[in-house]
């Protein structure tokens, strides 16, 4: 996703040490290793064990120049030292492999279990949420994390349906939602609900909030962080994180009032102040890229 744009802005250098915090299929990792020459090094991680194995296999030609571990980027502080990385990339969201495997439960195209765990070692699944949360709790999830305006109607239908048995499969849930929210256009009416469930199951926004600071602490001065987001909540979080780092003062607490400010030098400058979006050619090749936005910041 946005591969040439990421590499052009990270500017990998020989002897540089780089991080792919969402290694996935290792496309970005491979490009970084190619661009950084024979002395470049890469650390990569992913919470998905299948992705870790796939990445190691793809990067075999770079043997000795990379290390891949199974963990979430929030946990990188237990592995890497602060101030040791020259550039990092976070490609958020779901990988193509996760979408394309029915058993993972992410896709509306296949019938599979309502799982949606990126890390299969985790305990909470989408089925747990669907079958155990109240109508009010489900409606709040669908609206807050999916922006679904019909959240209350969908939640009531789910609670009614599960009185006759658990809701256990993706197509069972998708069909139920389609009966409540008739299809308009090409987008399936269950898309926003599935997105919301996935975000909550994997605590995506909470981990992004914590993980941005972890990854930022690993960068050397002059190091760059590239973040690819796919929905508005992620984008807002990245923009707010960057804005705070760029301020010429520190804010005590969550309230930005003059009496709570303390002078400090800015910690960051935007490499890409405006979001970089995929080209039309990339969107035609990969429709999943259409909502991608790239933002890049440099540590001062």
DSSP strand pairing (41-46 vs 66-70): parallel
Q: How far apart are CA 67 and CA 21, in angstroms?
A: 12
Total count of domains within the chain: 2
178 and 167 within one domain? yes
Q: What is the pLDDT of residue 288?
A: 85
- Strand, coil or helix: what is 136? helix
279 and 214 within one domain? yes
Q: How far apart are CA 96 and CA 98, in angstroms?
A: 5
Contact in structure between 179 and 44 (CB atoms under 8 Å):
no
User: What is the model's pTM?
Assistant: 0.93
In a domain, 66, yes or no: yes
- Taking CA atoms, 140 is separated from 134, 148, 193, 266, in Å, by 10, 9, 11, 37
Q: How far apart are CA 32 and CA 55, in angstroms?
A: 13
In a domain, 248, yes or no: yes
Q: What is the pLDDT of residue 95?
A: 84
42 and 13 within one domain? yes
Q: What is the pLDDT of residue 99?
A: 86
In a domain, 109, yes or no: no
In a domain, 249, yes or no: yes
184 and 217 within one domain? no
- Strand, coil or helix: what is 103? helix
217 and 172 within one domain? no
**What is the span of the domain harbouring residue 276?**
3-96+204-299
Enter the DSSP assignment of 105: -
CATH number at residue 10: 3.40.50.150
Q: What is the pLDDT of residue 249?
A: 79
Q: What is the pLDDT of residue 183?
A: 86
Looking at 148, 172, 201, which one is the last position of a domain? 201
Q: What is the pLDDT of residue 1?
A: 92
Q: What is the pLDDT of residue 128?
A: 98
210 and 189 within one domain? no
Cα dihedral value 227, 228, 233, 235, nearest 10: 60
Mean pLDDT by 10 residues, the chain (300 residues): 97 96 96 97 97 97 98 98 98 87 93 96 97 98 96 98 96 97 90 97 97 98 97 95 88 73 89 92 92 97
Q: What angle do CA 160, 166, 169 make, to 5 degrees?
A: 110
Q: How far apart are CA 187 and CA 219, in angstroms?
A: 40
């Amino acid at each position: 996703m946005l591969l040439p744009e990421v590499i052009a802005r990270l500017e990998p250098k020989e002897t540089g040490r780089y991080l792919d915090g969402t290694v996935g299929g290792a496309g970005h990792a491979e490009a970084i290793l190619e661009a950084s020459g024979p002395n470049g090094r890469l650390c990569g991680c992913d919470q998905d064990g299948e992705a870790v194995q796939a990445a190691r296999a793809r990067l075999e030609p770079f043997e000795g120049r990379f290390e891949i571990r199974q963990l979430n980027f929030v946990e990188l502080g237990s592995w890497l030292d602060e101030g040791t990385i020259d550039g990092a990339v976070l490609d958020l969201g779901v990988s193509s492999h996760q979408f394309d495997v029915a058993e993972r439960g992410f896709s509306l195209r296949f019938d599979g279990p309502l799982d949606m765990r990126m890390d299969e070692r985790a305990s909470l699944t989408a089925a747990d949420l669907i079958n155990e949360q109240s109508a009010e709790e489900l409606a709040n999830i669908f609206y807050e994390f999916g922006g679904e305006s019909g959240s209350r109607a969908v939640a009531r239908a789910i609670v009614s349906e599960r009185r006759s048995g658990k809701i256990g499969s993706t197509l069972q849930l998708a069909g139920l939602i389609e009966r409540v929210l008739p299809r308009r256009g090409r987008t399936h009416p269950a898309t926003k609900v599935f997105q919301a469930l996935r975000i909550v199951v994997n605590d995506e926004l909470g981990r992004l909030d914590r993980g941005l600071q972890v990854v930022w602490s690993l960068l050397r001065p002059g190091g760059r962080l590239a973040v690819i987001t796919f929905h508005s909540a992620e984008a807002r979080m990245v923009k707010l994180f960057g804005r705070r780092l760029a301020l010429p003062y520190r804010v005590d607490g969550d309230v930005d009032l003059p009496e709570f400010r303390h002078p400090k030098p800015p910690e960051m400058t935007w490499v890409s102040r405006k979001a970089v979006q995929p080209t039309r050619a990339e969107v035609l090749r990969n429709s999943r890229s259409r909502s991608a936005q790239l933002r890049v910041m440099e540590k001062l």
